């Protein structure tokens, strides 16, 4: 999984798995789920991310539930 924030366009992209998106679903205003041909979730896009997420405090948890903080 890869999480990227692009401040020049204010978008967070969360790549869940590799694949070619062929469809998308609007989960909420500004939150888009991209799906594979098989209907598997590939990517989540958050538009206007600075308005929807607290970007100053980002934390990640690994499979051993250890928290890794940034910011």
- 0.85 exceeded by the pTM? no
* 40 neighbors 33 (Cβ within 8 angstroms): no
User: What pLDDT sits at residue 1?
Assistant: 84
Domain boundaries, the chain: 2-70
User: What pLDDT sits at residue 54?
Assistant: 77
Question: What digits encode the pLDDT tens for the residues 31-43?
Answer: 999 999 999 999 9
pLDDT, average across residues 12-38: 96
Can you say whether the dihedral through the CA atoms of 30, 10, 59, 17 is positive or negative? positive
Which is more confidently placed, 45 or 65? Answer: 45
Whether residue 71 is predicted with pLDDT greater than 70 in this model: the reply is no
């Amino acid at each position: 999984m890869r999480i990227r924030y692009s401040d020049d366009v204010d978008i967070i992209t969360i790549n869940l798995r590799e694949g070619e998106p062929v469809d998308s679903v609007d989960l909420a205003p500004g939150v888009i789920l991209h799906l594979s041909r098989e209907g598997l979730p590939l990517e989540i896009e958050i538009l206007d991310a600075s308005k929807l997420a607290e970007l100053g405090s980002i934390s990640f948890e690994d499979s051993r539930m250890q928290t890794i903080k940034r910011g």
